[in-house]
Structure 1
Amino acid sequence: MARQSITLTEPNDEWLKSQISTHHEYSNKSELINDLIRQARRADMINQKLALSEISGSVDQSKEEILKEFKEKLK
């Protein structure tokens, strides 16, 4: 994994800390930030797929197939 150093504003740092302390899904900021990036990537892929479907007028995949494709791309 790539190691990064980032600077956070005070409100963003406090928000990250509160998410970690209240949700217990994440043990540290890195886990939470990685999850937020995955969510953003997933949203971006969905938006791209929607834009393509709007251009073409139809989609030939079921929603289950689209979801499976998104999950595979996030690995």
Structure 2
Amino acid sequence: MERFEKWLVISNTAVLVSFLGLLLTVMLAYPLADALALPVQIAAHMGTLLFAVGVKIAYVARLAFLSKLGRPVH
């Protein structure tokens, strides 16, 4: 059980980091795009896709560890 608690903390952190990265890359890719060079815009668009996938994977992991711990899964 203690092992699942550790992974729950890791997955919660991964959701937060991925979400913040997603917000940053969306800001860079769209409202701030005019101020950035083309390679940075391309990287921001790619980052948007990668961080979105990160949010989804980390959230599914979070739900799995909550389930293993017998806690309510929302």
Common fold: TM-score over 0.5 = no
TM-score, normalization by structure 1: 0.41
Higher relative contact order (CA 8 A, sep 6+): 2
Please say which structure displays the higher CA radius of gyration. 1
